[in-house]
Structures are given as C-alpha cells and as structure tokens.
Structure 1
Amino acid sequence: MRAPNGCPVSDAAAAFDPFSDGYQQDPPEYVRWAREQEPVFYSPQLGYWVVTRFDDIKAIFRDNLTFSPSIALEKITPTGPEANAVLERYGFALNRTLVNEDEPAHMPRRRLLMEPFTPEHLRPHEPLVRQLAREYVDRFIDDGRADLVDQMLWEVPLTVALHFLGVPEEDMDTLRKYSIAHTVNTWGRPRPEEQVEVAHAVGNFWQFAGKVLDKMRQDPDAPGWMQYGIRKQREHPEIVTDSYLHSMMMAGIVAAHETTANATANAMKLLLQHPSAWRDICEDPALIPNAVEECLRHNGSVAAWRRLATRDVTIGGIDIPAGAKLLIVTSSANHDERHFADADLFDIRRDNASDHLTFGYGSHQCMGKNLARMEMQVFLEEFTRRLPHMRLAEQTFTYVPNTSFRGPEHLIVEWDPAQNPERRDASLRTAARAAVRIGEPSNHAITRPVVVQRIETVAQDIVRLRLVAPDGRPLPRWAPGSHIDVECGDTGLSRQYSLCGDPDDTGTLEIGVLRDPRSRGGSAWMHGQVKVGDRLHIRGPRNHFRLDEEARRLIFIAGGIGITPIMAMARRARALNIDYQLFYCGRSRGAMAFVDELAALHGDRLTLCVSSEGTRLDLPALLQKPVEGARVHACGPLRMLDALEAACAHWPEDSLRMEHFESMLGTLDPTREHAFEVELKDSGLTLPVRADQTLLAALRAANIDVQSDCEEGLCGSCEVRVISGDIDHRDMVLTRAEREAGQRMMSCCSRARGTKMVLEL
C-alpha cells in the first residue's frame, strides 16, 4: 500500500482510525507512536495526511495560504443520497464562516466582527456567568451526587452563548440535540441508518438559525454579537452578506457553547483525577487561570483541525502533494516533548501551558478563546469554593465519536452534603471573588510552594538553599541553564536564581544566593529572613540559557555567583562525555562558592582564576583563535561579559551564549521614545504602539497572547519573531548573532528604530 506521494504506508499508519475507542478516549496517547517515529503519515482509512508535532502544526496554522481552512467544516464522512436529499429539502446551505474561509475574504470580515471579543467588551458578561453558575450549583448542592454535564456544564455555556450572540433563549434540549447532530454530521461517522435522522436535525437547526436571524433584524440595535454583525452589514454589505450571517448564526451557536461545555467537563474530570492539583486550586484560587490553560493543553475539547494543501509542500520532511487533505492533531501537538517538558505530566503551574494549540494559532485562532477562558475560570471558582470535597464517582466515560471535538457525555461526581462548607459559613454561597483574568494568565500569578529543607553557607555571603515539595512529590524536571523565580515574602519582590544542583534529582531544587550590598531587598530578604522549614513560593523552572549539547567542545566561564548555572552545565557536559573546560573567576577563594565540590567533580578541567592570588583570566589569549565546533557559555558580572563579548567578536556567529543576572533597563521615558506600528502577519492586524507603551502592553490590549515574566529584558519569556523592521534591542538575552539577524526581539523592552515592524504573530 502506498501514499499519494508514492511512499509506502506503514502498518501503524494503515491501522490509524480516529473513530476507534483508543482515539476517542485519549487522542495524544493514540498517536504517540506517530509523534515519536512517524510525525507525518498518510491514513488510507481516512484519506488524509495526519500531522502530529507541535512545530509542524503551528507552521501550518501560520500559513493559511498554503494550508487552506476551506475543508474545516466539510463532512469528513460523506453521507448517502437519502440524507443529502433531506438536507436539500430543508434548504441547508451552510457556506463560508470565519472558521473555513480563505483570504482575501476572511480577514476583512474578522476585523469587522472582532471587537465584541476583546477583553474590554467581554468583561460585562462576567456577572451573568457567575449568576448562572451559582444558581445551577444551588439546584444540586444538597443532593450529594450530580451529573455535571447534564445538570450544568451543557446548559450554562449554552445560555451564555445565546446571551453573547443575542439569541432569544429557546428550548435548550432541542438546541443540544441540534448541536450534537451538527458535530456528528460534520466531524463524525454516522452509520447509514443514522444519517437520515442526523440530516433532519441539522436541517431543523439551519431553519431555526434563519428564523432567529429574521427576528434579530427587527431590532438590530439590541445587544449581541449577531446584532453587531447586522449593524456592520449596513456599513459594509459587500463584506457581511445575508448568507454569511445565516451561516455564522448556526456555526456560532455551536462554536460558542459546545467547545466550552466539553472543555469544562474535561477540565473537571482531569482535576478530580489529580487530587493534589484539585486541592491546590481549592486552597489557592489564584492558580485557577493557569490550571485552565493546563487543562486545555493536557485534555482540551479540540482534538484536531483540518486543512487543504493548495500547492506541493514539505511538512516535517515529507512531500505532500497539492490538493492533499490534512488532519492536524492539535491534541498531539500539545503533548509534544519538544515543546512541553515532561509533556504528559499534568502540572497546573506549568510556565508555558498557554502555548497550547487548542485555540489554533494565527489569523484563524479562535475568536471566542477568552470567553471560554472566563467561563471555565468562573466554573472552577464556584466548584472549588462550594464543593471542595467533590470526587469522581465510579463510571465509564463515553464520547460522541468524531475526529475533532471531544468531551465526556456524562461526568458523575459525589460528595457528602453534610460537609458542604456553606453549611458552616453561609456567606460562601455568594462570596465575592476578584474579577477573573480575561486573556492569557500572567506568569506572575503562577506559583509553586516549596519548603526549605536545608540552608548551607558555601562561601562568604553566599548560601545554598535546598528546596523540596511540601508533600514530597517530585518537582518538575529541568535542564542546565534553568532558573526559578522566588517570591520574597510580603516584600512584593521577586528574584531569579539559577538552579545549580543535579538535573537528574527530581526531588529537589538547589539555588545559590549572594548577599549583594547593592540589593534592592531580594538577597537581603533571602539571607536575613529565610530559615529551614519555611515555605516559599517559586515560579518555573524555565530555561532561556540552554546548553548546546551538540557542541564538540564547551568552554565554560563563570564570574562570582555566575557559577550557579555553569555548575549544572559542566555536570551535564561531563555526563555526555563532551570535551570541556571550566574557568571560574573570583576576587578571593573565600568569596568563591562550591570550589571543593567543583574540583572533586571536574579535576584538571577546572581552572580557578583568583584575583587576590594574581591568577586572572586572560580572555583575549584564551579566545584568540576560534575553535571549530566549540561553544562558549558564560555567566557573571556585566563587566566580565562585556569583555568576553569583545574577545569573541571574531568567533563564528552564535559561538557565545551568556546569561546576565542584572538588568540595565530603566523605566520607559515617553519623552525620549517615539510611537510606531506593528503589523501582525499571522493575525492580520496592525497595531499602534504609543511612546509611553511597551510592545508587550500593546499586544495584550489587542487580545494577542504573549508570555512574559521578569519584564526587565532578562528572562526571554516575551520573545516574538520579527519578519521585517529595524529593532532597537534593549534586552540582556539575545546573542550578538541573534541581534544582527534581526529575527527576534523581547517585547517587554525592545522597540522599533523606525515607524513600522512586521511580526510573526
């Protein structure tokens, strides 16, 4: 058996069946073999090419000209003539919507219809979501048992969806039947005897949508997204057409509620299957926004999307012919170890959870993503406050068989009503909570508790802290060069510390902390206030100073406390049997930490350069002649790193990688800045960036998700890709070669030198 490009089809690819129970229960696990061994393959059963890795799928989303969304709503299982005749009798004519429309028609419509989805316009919907969540929980809170899907998680998102769209509330049971029928008709495999029944439901849904639209036209100034579209039709009838509104009316009802209902059911199932995570969000509601992102990543409601190749193209090294249909398994991308460390681990404090592709990416990214996030946060807040003792009942989970959208048909939970917290404190029923975060969660809210197991003085004014999980659970895996952020008690300060222990030790994290006389308070607090047994809150680990494990030779240079990340790198180089040298510089031996430990591990590969002993490191001599295949990794004070950069100026590009532990970034001074524009190529937007505004702030205001952390140009979290435009680099992250290439910038601090930039966002 051969694929359309002539390549043989493997046995695993031939057996791939997205309608099987294995795929329905756990799509990422079902295609693990592909993600690891055959990331792009042809499925004879489906007639589609299947793509499973993160980078490949994100690249497909990014290029909507080569990879057309036109088949996104096409029936994946062709129906027979009898069912088709039924649809024809109903006048069913679902046409292009925002989901499956090509350029140049798509982006003008998206721009016109986007405003109601921005955070500013979504916030007024939050009180209704809270009211509905509270009222529905009231109905079963004293029962001790509930099917969350049947009794809440389907109806509340549907009510919110109707409210947002401006649709008069109708019979929800009928709408649920219609919505499921639409899903089965488009993405499922209905048996021949089911196809006619499904067709009748879809046809009725189509006619219902048309009738509701006709009612809306009688009062176009009423609130609601559809009425907003009707008003825009007056201004731009050539862009917002009658047939377009009818199709969006039907598609919008499904898109605005079914995915949110399924996503919340998946999230509750996942959290209750991980009692420690459930306990954590019950105790600390500030974790809920990131818990939502991790639930969407680990077990979201969108398993896959579809695209059509418009030309011959290569994906993941595989030649794909023009006209090929693609099933891009986003749920598999969300479990790709190449992007998500320990990807199968469910970690509600994961620092890059919101990188998931559940909402898609680029110009076709889900417009309703922040409405869904808001609803899920409110539901989790309600459940954790009022039913923290909830648990899953014994049950078998079933799913409506289809390729793309998934959530359990039922989710039965149990609890002891006598233990309901509001029986002891009635105010909990209506307890006020802070407004939910509308948009991607801030990394500053994602903390992980750790306990100080040991504090050891390792040099003059330097201590090593050994941190463990409070409950003895393993801590996240990390790679050399990683750091954590430590919250300094009630000071409001947060400081970054490189991890200096053994990356293979999953039970502990170790950091070295220098008492800095110039400290703004962080190191003084760490030295003066922290003691064994204290509980600290950290963020991370995260890594923007990665070891090049492909290098033939490694030269490590550390100055002072800069030895901390270099320690872990040298240990890893030794384990990989890479040729390496370690140069450690300091004022005096008494001020240099870990010297005996380093000497025991690295022997004559370690060179100590001690100023008080007259053994200074001669950087120009050491780096006089570039070494083929060598990489220099360094961390230390700014003066040393500046000298190192000058000494490596004649080395090949990207030979030098440095980490700074102090920022030279000052407060933004609008009188010395100029405004500029950024065109977001993937999203089809152009945004102004004011003189008093960072690029990061402008992106967030436009509903564009960008990670950030330190916002001082030190950590690299807020990196964005630059297609064109001259960059005023102000970060301490990028190498000389990376800056000269002009393809990356840190959005928290760097700016445009000119009046416009084009970004890959």
Structure 2
Amino acid sequence: MSDATATPPSGGCPFHAAPPAAGACPAGAPEAVSAQAAAFDPFSDAYQQDPPEYVRWAREQEPVFYSPRLGYWVVARYDDIKAVFRDNLTFSPAIALEKITPTGPEANAVLASYGYAMNRTLVNEDEPAHMPRRRALMEPFTPEALQHHEPMVRQLVRDYVDRFIDDGRADLVDQLLWEVPLTVALHFLGVPEEDMDTLRRYSIAHTVNTWGRPRSEEQVAVAHAVGNFWQLAGRILDKMRQDPDAPGWMQYGIRKQRELPDVVTDSYLHSMMMAGIVAAHETTANAAANAIKLLLQHPDAWRELCADPGLIPNAVEECLRHNGSVAAWRRVVTRDTVVGGVPLAAGAKLLIVTSSANHDPAHFEDADLFDIRRDNAVDHLTFGYGSHQCMGKNLARMELQVILQELTRRLPHLRLPAQRFTYVPNTSFRGPEHLWVEWDPAANPERARPALRDAQAPVRVGEPVRHAAGRAMVVESVAAAAQGVLRLRLRPADGRALPRWSPGAHIDVDCGGTGLSRQYSLCGDPSDPGVLEIAVLKEEAGRGGSRWLHENVRAGARLTIRGPRNHFRFDEGCRRAVLVAGGIGITPISAMARRARELGIDYALHYSGRARASMALLDELAALHGERLHVYAGDEGQRADFAALLAGASADTQVYACGPARMLEALQDCCAALPGDALRIEHFHGTGGTDPAADAPFTVELKDSGLVLEVPAGQTLLATLRRANIDVASDCEEGLCGSCEVRVLSGQVEHRDVVLTRAEREANGRMMACCSRARTGQRIVLEL
C-alpha cells in the first residue's frame, strides 16, 4: 500500500516497500546505466499510481533498459513486448511466479513447516509440458462453456447492489468488487463456500510474497498466510476428489486426471487450486475497480455508457488497455538474443511492462486518450499474448460487462468524491484498495420504475465486435475538392475532442442503411483535434459506398465512423522521403507531406492524375510545398518517370506510395534495387479474396493451440479459425487493413493482401487470414 496508515478491512498488516538491498550485479548487466534507469523503482508510489506514465521516458528514449534496483531488464514498447510473448522458448515464463524479492531463512523455514511446495502452473510452465496441460484443461474456458455462468453472475451483482443502493455512499471495493469476483471464481472452480475475508487476506499475501517487496519483519507474517493458503487449497482439493462429477473447473481437472494421469498430476492440481483462486478473482476484482474509477473520472464516457449499453463491451477493452489490473509480467532469457536492438545474455531476467505497451503511440493512435470507441482497444496486452495468454480472459470480460451494465442502469448518477487511492506495492498487479462513490438515493431510477432492477441486457462472451464502437459525427461541410471528388469535414456530434491521428491513418465510414462500410484515408491537419477530413472519389463502377456518400451526404448530416487507425504509418525519423500519389491516393500522401514539412525532412511529392481538373487538393498542396511538389497531369502530356526520379536515391531513402494498381506495380519495379522495406504502399482495393474455382484446400497447424485444421476451398483461413473458436481480430476482410495479421512459422504463403511490403512477403513470416492462403500442396504452421 502506498499509504502507510491504511489497513485492509479484512485485517492483517499492510505490506510496505523496503529500500533495495545492495548486491552484486547479475551476469550480463551493463557496466553503466542512465540516471532514469538507476532510479526506476516499481515499488514506488509513482509506479503504483500510474505505471504507463512512470515509464513514459522509457517508451520515448530507452525502451529496453537495465534496472540495478531490481536486477531485471525492463521492456516498455508494444512491439518488443509482443515479440517476447510470441517466443516462449527464448523467453521462458519460468520466473513468472518466482519471488521478486528473495525471503530470508526464517520466512523460508515457515513456508517449509507448512509443506509449501508450489509447483509449475499454466502461468510459469515451459514446453513441452505446458501445451498438453493447457489443451487438456481449456474446454471450460470456451465462450460456449462460459455462457451459462452469466445468469449467476448477474444475480450475484444485483444482490450485492441491493445491499447498498439506498445508502448514497459505498466503498465499491469492499461492498461489491472484491466479493463478487471471488464468489464467481469459487463457483467457476467448483470450490465450496469459504470465508471471504480469510481468502482475501491469503490472496493479498500471495501477491506480496510473489511480486512485492515486504520488509524483513513482515516476511514471516506473509509466509504464515501463504502457508495456510497452501494447506487450505489442499483440503479443498481433497473435498473435491470425493465428488469428482460435480460442476467446476477443478473437478473437470480431476476427471481429466483419470484420462491423462501423466499430464494432470496430483502436485499440478494442488498448485492450480491455489493459483486458480488468486488468478480467477484478484485480477478481475482489480480490473473492475480500475474500470469504474476511470469511467467516473471521465463522466462524459460514463454518461455515454448509461445512454447506450451497447458500448460497454468495447469500453471494457479500453479500460483494460488504459488502466488494466496487470501492469507487468516476467520472463527469463534462455539463450543470447536481442530485444529492441539491445543484446541480452542467457539468464537475463525481464520485466515486461504490458501497461506501458498499452500506451505505446506506435500501436494506439493518441494512446493516452481514454476513448471507449477506440476500435483497436482489444489489441491490449493486459491478458498477455500467445501460448500463455490468460485462459480466463472471457470470464473476466463477462464479469466486467455485467458489473458495468448493472451499475450504469441502476446508479447512472454515481459520482467520484475526492479521495486518495492506495495500492499494494508490487510489480505486476494493481487496483485501488478502496473506491468510494456517492449518489443521491432519492434519484435512483428504479424508485420510479421498479422493473428496472430486473431488466436484461445481452452480454458478449469473447472479443467485442469492432462495428459496435462507432462514433457519431456531424458533417460540417461538403465541398468539391476536384472533378468527381468531395471533401468532407467531420466533427464529433458530442462536441468533444477526437483522438489524435498520424499521417497514413484512415477511418471506416458507415454508408447509411446500405450495410456498406468503407475505409477513407485522412487528409486534413493531424494537429486539429476537433475535425477529421476525407476526400471521396465517386466510383461509378464501385460497390456503392462512394456513390452513396456523393448522392446523400450534405452539411449537417450525421455519419457513423470508426477509428482512426493506421497501417500505413509514416516514419518520422526518416532522413529522406519520396512521396508518390496517383489520383485519390493523394489523401494519405498529403498528410505525410505536411508532416515531413513540419519536421524538416528532405522530401519530394510526386502527384499523378489523368487530368488536372480531377486532381484533388492541388491548390492547397502547391501553397504548402512549392517546388517540392511535382504534378503530372495526363491531359497535359505529363507522366512521372519513376526510374529517373529514383535513379539517384540513397540507401536511406523511404518511398511512400498510394494510387492505382498499375502505378504501384511500375513503382515496385523501379524500387527493386532499394532495400526491401524502402517502398511502403497503400492500395485502393483488396485483391478479391477467395476464388472457389481456383483455390485448393490446405492444412494449417496452430502451434500454440495444438490444433490441426483443414481449410476447404472457398473458405478463408479466417473463417476456419473462427469455427475452431480461435479469436483473430478482423475488419475489412479484403486484405486492405492488416487487422487479421497472423504470424507464420513455416510453410509458403500465397499472399493476396495489399498490406505487406515486398520484403515482408519474401520473409514469409506473416500473412493476412482474411484472404491469403497456403501455396498449393503446402502445410502452414501459425503462431496461434
């Protein structure tokens, strides 16, 4: 806890951070560290209050650094952390439950006296043991299996809210958010009712023992609590063995032990019994407290959820991203490797700060903004990623949805009074120890409408659907940007600031009642937080989206959009940029040119079109870029000579291009001599997807899930994965947006997307599940 005078309501002593002990540097530690790295202290109040803000300097300046206080290398950026999660052989989870603060001999003797023998669990187990156990125990966690728990969760939340709804003031942690997830966890595990306060004390002790820094005089008390917890878990497991056919995940494990005695062992079940009680409830309890605190600190967002419960599933993901209950995880390096350009020796220990990754602007547009409509919020790493991703993620999502549904419906007038939030100091798990809220009981909606208490609301078990997080916009103006091109200025209907966006970003626009959703690149000024601008070419031979916008949208109209998001990102650190646009492809390129100009990058802008009259934004571009703008109008006999303009390109030149396929193909030929990633392309259209007459079936092996699936002709890989209950994010499903990217471990891919660069295709390490396939006769292995 960060407040030395605070005491948990369940009794027991608070556990405080101790000064770091002096010791020898581990092998592989650098001889010198920066001042900020030397000062890094994850047990400090500043880290507990806001981990992403505490390590902002690392994301921006030193994304992989050594902490002498901790004896760990700290990793802060999204891509680096995801890479660590992906490779569980090089980055072993073996230390995930290791005591981050070694205890003294007296505390160790106490643990031994209880027979404490915590073994490997799903969290910290290496291959080849991990996946067989995970597969054996996974079934109760599937969305279909979890659905039937929802009525119990809802009734439980309602009953707890009944206890305080007329009081006008409550500590939601003590009165709702701790006991409900704990009760749900016990129900899911199949544990008989136990004393809540005792389990809470034991759970906190387990967290401090594993991830905290108890003072030497506190270690013995912690050890007694952990030892008692261990013995209690054993007694509960013995009771369960007497009725193995009863419902519950642990009973499921006992039954699996009959089938697979070498996989599901006695010691494994005992360890999972103890770890399961903590894992199934503490992180959810903290996540719920963090989410409600965050929403009440953003009252506009709270009011939106009260008015539109359909936003709750996506709001849950954004709360988990912005202020989740899991701040960091740990890994140990098994062989010499490199992370974020920093060499790491075998044996190096890593603290991977997932909460920092969730605020990385390279992956999340305007990452610090709390935006319940953020359409890639589900990309957060709070649940981990890869083979060790949290199995209970969908149970936690369901609980959070139900809690928010019940509170927004029954107590929409909740407010957050001034208070100091305290946390149990540890590296990895965080949630406020208390969360006081207030309201006027006389204004409770169910006093006038008693039936409101029992109203039903749908719950989505699994990832939220992207299109449910639309943002209402008002068309401020419609103007002709060129012949056949409309420029739309859009402002948020609620008047609030929009997420900031970076050049290359696009939005999805719902085209009225047509059922069509189309992607349009942003072409305005990224520094203006109040407006988004797109330019739309009317395509008579298209699928109807642009036609609908041209024929129906007028100033004052309302549109629903999603985003912004960016799969065509401009590298602001590049030294020289060649920007190439054809036709309406000028939209993302214009934003890049504006940014290059602001940053003082050496750049040239080459813009081609069939006729000058049909080339959008020309006057604005000429005013901004002067001699750096080169215009090639076909009706004036001008044509870009890509070979000539790239002939003298240096090795550090980056080329960004958007336009018609023929132009891009010609440009690719001229860039053949440049490094593979020098050319970055955005296309207008996908490649058309699957042709049932031409496509052959193929086999896909999912390495992390241990599944082998057959993808039939006429069906996409994405559809096959969904049928197997494997979550893969998606959006356009045309190979345009990059949302459904999956990692390829082996096998040759027939790439049909328009996202990957030439070098990325040649590397054969990634594919888009919505359109690409294995080459004929190939079996592909995916990291899923």
Please tell me the TM-score bracket, short chain as reference.
over 0.9
- Matching residue of 1:719: 741
- Residue type matched to 1:374 in 2? M
Q: Given the superposition, is the C-alpha separation of residues 24 and 758 from structure 1 closer, same or farther in structure 2, using an over 3 Å criterion?
A: same
Instruction: Give the counterpart letter for 2:394 in structure 1.
Output: N
Q: Select which of 99, 108, 123 maps to 1:84.
A: 108
Show the counterpart of 2:9: none
Instruction: Kindly provide the CA deviation profile for residues 309-330 of structure 1, in whole angstroms up to 9, marking residues without a partner as x.
Output: 3344443444444333332222
Q: Displacement of 1:750 after TM fit?
A: 0.8
**Is residue 234 of structure 1 aligned with residue 252 of structure 2?**
no
Distance of 2:676 and 2:210 partners within structure 1: 51
Which residue in 1 is equivalent to 2:582?
559
Which residue of 1 is the match for residue 6 of structure 2?
none
Partner of 1:201: 225
State the SS of the aligned residue for 1:327: strand
Note if 1:760 corresponds to 2:767: no
Q: Report the secondary structure of 2:404's partner residue.
A: helix
* Distance verdict in 2 for CA 1:215–1:50, change over 3 Å: same
**CA 1:688/1:532 → structure 2, altered by over 3 Å: closer, same or farther?**
same
For 1:392, what is the secondary structure of its paired residue?
Answer: coil
Contact 1:206 1:250 in 2 (8 A): yes
**2:616 match:** 593
Q: Per-residue deviation at 1:624?
A: 7.9
Select 1:462's aligned residue among 482, 485, 508. 485
> What is aligned with 1:660?
683
Structure 1 residue corresponding to 2:378, chosen from 330, 340, 354: 354
Partner residue, 1:325: 349
Pair 393,553 (structure 1): closer, same or farther in 2 beyond 3 Å: closer
For the residues of structure 1 that align with 2:694 and 2:112, how far apart are their CA atoms? 65
* Structure 2 residue identity aligned to 1:70: A
- 1:567 aligned partner, one-letter code: S
Q: Deviations over 1:66-118 (max 9, x none)?
A: 33222222222333444333333322221111112222222211111112112
- 1:253 is displaced (CA, Å) by 0.8
User: Which of these residues, 159, 182, 185, is aligned with residue 209 of structure 2?
Assistant: 185
What is residue 748 of structure 1 aligned with on the other side? 770
Q: Which amino acid aligns with 1:601?
A: L
Structure 1 residues 116 and 673: alpha-carbon distance in aligned structure 2, compared to 1, 3 A threshold: farther
**Structural mapping, 1:454-603, within 5 Å:** 454-549=477-572, 553-603=576-626
Question: How many Å separate the matches in 2 of 1:620 and 1:330?
Answer: 43
Distance 2:148 2:710 in 1: 25
Residues 36 and 479 from structure 1, CA distance in 2 versus in 1: closer, same or farther, beyond 3 angstroms? closer
Match of 1:127 among 151, 163, 182: 151
1:693-726 CA-partner distances (Å, limit 9, x unpaired): 4222333455544332111111122222222211
Match of 1:426 among 427, 450, 461: 450
Pick aligned residue for 1:175 from 163, 175, 199: 199
Q: Distance in 2 between matches of 1:91 and 1:147?
A: 37
**SS of 2:564 mapped into structure 1:** strand
User: Aligned residue for 2:275?
Assistant: 251
The residue that corresponds to 2:758 in the other structure is 736
- 1:36: Cα distance to partner? 3.2
TM-score by length of 1: 0.93
Deviation, structure 1 residue 521: 2.9
- Decide whether the 8 Å contact of 1:623 with 1:648 is kept in 2: no
How far apart are the structure 2 equivalents of 1:217 and 1:409?
35
Alignment of 1:385-404 (within 5 A): 385-404=409-428
- Out of 223, 231, 253, the position equivalent to 2:247 is 223
TM-score by length of 2: 0.91
Taking the TM superposition and a 5 Å limit, the aligned residue runs for 1:131-142 are 131-142=155-166
Closer/same/farther in 2, CA of residues 688 and 156 from structure 1, 3 Å limit = farther
Could you tell which deviates more after superposition, 523-532 or 407-416?
523-532
2:461 is aligned with 1:438: yes
For residues 757 and 342 of structure 2, the distance between their equivalents in structure 1, rounded to whole angstroms, comes to: 32
> Shift in Å at residue 279 of structure 1?
2.0
Q: 2: distance between equivalents of 1:113 and 1:166? A: 14
Cα gap change, 1:628/1:319 in structure 2, threshold over 3 Å: closer, same or farther?
closer
| 1:214 alignment counterpart | 238
Shift of 1:650: 6.0
Q: Distance in 2 between matches of 1:289 and 1:663?
A: 29
Measure how far apart 1:399 and its partner are.
Answer: 1.3
Quote the residue 1:154 is aligned against: 178
2: CA distance between counterparts of 1:315 and 1:701? 35
Between stretches 346-355 and 224-233, larger displacement belongs to 346-355
Deviation at 1:527, TM superposition (A): 2.1
CA gap 1:621/1:265 in 2 versus in 1, 3 angstroms: closer
Mean Cα deviation higher: 92-101 or 689-698: 689-698
Match of 1:94 among 107, 111, 118: 118
Residue 236 (structure 1) shift: 1.0
CA contact (8 A) 2:96 2:329 kept: yes
Structure 1 Cα separation of the partners of residues 644 and 271 of structure 2: 68
Which of 261, 269, 288 is the matching residue for 1:264?
288
**Cα offset for 1:373?**
1.2
- 3-state SS of 1:711 partner: coil
Residues 338-417 of structure 1 correspond to what in structure 2 (within 5 A)? 338-417=362-441
- Maintained 8 Å contact 2:369/2:499: no
Amino acid at match of 2:540: P
8 Å contact kept, 1:467–1:508: yes
The CA deviation at 1:639 is 4.1
Partner SS for 1:391: coil
The answer to whether the 8 Å contact 1:77/1:189 transfers is yes
Query: How far off its partner does 1:623 sit?
Result: 5.8
Structure 1 partner of 2:4: none
Name the CA shift for 1:219/1:646 in 2 (closer, same or farther; >3 Å): same
Q: Distance in 2 between matches of 1:242 and 1:607?
A: 73
Relative to structure 2, which stretch is displaced further, 200-209 or 146-155? 200-209
Deviations 1:155-201 (A, max 9, x none): 11111111111112222222222212222222223334433333332
Cα shift at 1:551: 5.1
Q: Distance between the aligned counterparts of 2:34 and 2:625, measured in 1?
A: 47
Mapped to 2, the partners of 1:536 and 1:733 lie a distance apart of 27
Runs of 5+ unmatched residues, structure 1: none
Cα RMSD (Å) of the superposition? 2.6
Change (3 A) 1:507 1:202: same
Q: Do the aligned partners of 1:442 and 1:708 also contact (CA within 8 Å) in 2? A: no
Checking the alignment, whether the CA contact within 8 Å between 1:619 and 1:644 is kept in structure 2 is no
Once residues 348 and 655 of structure 2 are traced to their aligned partners in structure 1, the CA distance between those partners, rounded to angstroms, is: 45
The worse-fitting range, judged by mean Cα deviation, of 9-18 and 101-110 is 9-18
Instruction: Say if 1:63 and 1:682, in contact at 8 Å, map to a contact too.
Output: no
Relative to structure 1, the CA distance from residue 232 to residue 414 in structure 2 (aligned partners, 3 Å threshold; closer, same or farther) is same
Taking the aligned partners of 2:150 and 2:681, their CA distance within structure 1 comes to: 45
Aligned to 2:56: 32
Q: Give the percent of matched residue pairs that are identical in Structure 1 and Structure 2.
A: 74
Partner deviation per Cα, 1:403-427 (whole Å, 9 max, x = no partner): 2211111111111222222333333
Q: Does 1:116 align with 2:140?
A: yes
Q: For 2:123 and 2:571, how far apart are their aligned partners in 1?
A: 41
Matched position secondary structure for 1:745:
strand
- Displacement of 1:682 after TM fit? 5.0
1:264 is displaced (CA, Å) by 0.7
3-state DSSP of counterpart to 2:719? helix
In 2, Cα distance between the equivalents of 1:756 and 1:213?
43
In structure 2, list runs of 5 or more residues that go unmatched: 1-21
Measure, in 2, the Cα distance between the counterparts of 1:750 and 1:530: 35
2:637 paired residue number: 615
Distance change in 2, residues 1:489/1:190 (3 Å): same
